[in-house]
């Protein structure tokens, strides 16, 4: 499992759009499993779950993104968690699949970090 926390200058919805674009286009070939958005006034929360098949692990890895602007300081807090790439009941080693998936999402958001 790989977890990364970031602060961004874009809205939670825009952060989700950037991640979706980066992980579904070209050779990355991720797919959206679920997306949930909740907003009230100027506050918003987005939960995004994506998955991708990794040949090196013969398994699917997932990426969960939680983004919100609840703090009211103009920033969006984003948590990216890559997981699920290991195979077998006891073998949880994923050969870097989770880190790779969350790393691609982090790259997509990099120019908006604060």
pLDDT greater at residue 74 or residue 1: 74
Q: From CA 18, how far away is CA 114, in angstroms rounded?
A: 16
pLDDT band at 111 (very low <50, low <70, confident <90, very high): very high
Q: What is the pTM of this model?
A: 0.85
Please count the other Cβ atoms lying within 10 Å of the Cβ belonging to residue 99.
Answer: 18
* Segments making up each domain of the chain, as ranges: 2-112
Q: Is the dihedral of CA 57, 19, 12, 70 positive or negative?
A: positive
For residue 93, give the 3-state DSSP assignment.
coil
Looking at the domain that runs over 2-112, which CATH code has it been given? Answer: 3.30.310
pLDDT at 43: 97
Six token digits for residue 15: 């952060």
51-110 pLDDT tens trace = 988 665 567 788 999 999 999 999 999 999 988 755 555 455 444 555 677 888 999 999
Radius of gyration of the chain, Cα coordinates, nearest whole angstrom: 14
Six token digits for residue 100: 């790779």
């Amino acid at each position: 499992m790989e977890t990364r926390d970031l602060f961004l200058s874009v809205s939670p919805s825009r952060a989700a759009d950037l991640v979706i674009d980066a992980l579904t286009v070209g050779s990355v070939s991720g797919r959206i499993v679920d997306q949930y958005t909740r907003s009230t006034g100027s506050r918003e929360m987005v939960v995004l779950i994506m998955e991708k098949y990794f040949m090196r692990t013969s398994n699917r890895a997932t990426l969960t993104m939680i983004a919100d602007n609840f703090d009211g300081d103009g920033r969006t807090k984003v948590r990216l968690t890559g997981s699920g790439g290991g195979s077998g009941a006891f073998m949880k080693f994923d050969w870097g699949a989770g880190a790779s998936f969350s790393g691609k999402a982090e790259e997509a958001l990099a120019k908006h970090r604060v």
